[in-house]
Amino acid sequence: MSVFEHINGDGYEQVVFCNDVHSGLRAIIAIHSTALGPALGGTRFYPYASEEEALVDVLRLARGMTYKAAAAGLDLGGGKAIIMGDPRRIKTEELLRAYGRFVETLGGRYITAEDVGTFLQDMDIVRRESRWVTGCSHTYGGSGDPSPVTAYGVLQGIKACALEVFGESDLKDRTVALQGVGKVGHALCGYLVEQGAKVKVADADVDNLARAVSDFEVETTEPDGVHTLEVDVFAPCAMGGGINDDTISQLRCRIIAGAANNQLQRNEHGDKLRDLGILYAPDFVINAGGLINVEDELRGYSRKRAMERVEGIYKQLQHIFTVAKERRISTARAALDYAEERIRKIGRIRLVRVDEYGPDH
């Protein structure tokens, strides 16, 4: 498939391939839409198996950001960037600064932040070359790592789901299977334990798993089977595409609510969850806390204001659940419709309809 075939279908505005021979940087910046404002989305640093795989991933993630920003009511478009390679092996100051210079060339059409494989310290370095960086450390006037705020938003979402399914938002003694205790999952685990929930965690990384056990005294479970546990809530906080043809029939939870992007491999899986009686909190609505937090940085950061806005995820999800019930559609489709309606009404550029999500990494 040619690059234009990839980007035409969903109407991507711009895709930039960045190459720096000296530092070994190979990056792709994808701008899906600037209909509602500049395209803000993180930089994923990942050892992709091929360029094709990297392109497909960055395009899908960029499109997801368009929907996330719209559903959260932000004046932002959707974009994302990937850097190819193993961050533990090739990440250097030289490479990050070369990347920052490419971000700067876009003049603010794309604004970056951290994502899987990039951290606060990396954004501080990128910021030395570009103004268009968020999620920097407090020392530089930034809002810090957005992950704990994302986790706080997911907690609000889980409470809204609990109210919908069990008639009360209290999470005391609710059972939760948490997949992935990285930056977001770890913070979420802390919040859930604090609320009195009974949490079982799984992670492919033994160090991250050990940290969660030592910090929160939670039980562990195998990564391969975490989605099959009989629990109130399954919280995917690792990679996307976890709800797919193979896993959907193995689910034994009442609620799916977690931080991972692109949890459904395809939209039909949202319909299937509805048929199975499992309440799904659409990923781009429940995980918008980090985006809301970094967006606040653009207007002079206030932690208090950001957290208050993130608490709005609770009501936002309630609205999506109501619409889904009224229209007899899945919550996934209700969320897509909601975001698209906002872009149609307020956006400056027409949006191409999203029909499919593919798997994340």
- Of 98 and 317, CB closest to ligand NAD: 317
Helices 289-297 and 51-71, axial angle in degrees (round to 10): 80
**Which residues bind to ligand NAD, rule: CB under 6 A?**
115-116, 146-147, 150, 179-185, 202-205, 208, 223, 237-240, 259-261, 287, 290
Min separation Cβ 294 and ligand NAD, Å:
9
- Of 98 and 118, CB closest to ligand NAD: 118
Min separation Cβ 166 and ligand NAD, Å:
25
Residue 279 β-bridge partners = 255
Min separation Cβ 68 and ligand NAD, Å:
8
Structure tokens at 338: 């909601």
- Of 98 and 335, CB closest to ligand NAD: 335
Pairing status of strand 43-46 against strand 14-20: unpaired
Min separation Cβ 120 and ligand NAD, Å:
11
| d(C-alpha 322, C-alpha 113), whole Å | 33
Q: How many residues does the chain have?
A: 361
Helices 206-216 and 183-194, axial angle in degrees (round to 10): 20
- Of 209 and 320, CB closest to ligand NAD: 209
In the bound complex, which residue of the shown chain has the CB atom lying closest to ligand NAD? 182
Q: What is the DSSP string of 77-101?
A: EEEEEEEES-HHHH--HHHHHHHHH
Pairing status of strand 25-33 against strand 110-111: unpaired
Active site residue 80: yes
Considering the candidates 68, 80, 183, 272, report the single residue annotated as catalytic: 80
Q: Which residues participate in catalysis according to the annotation?
A: 80
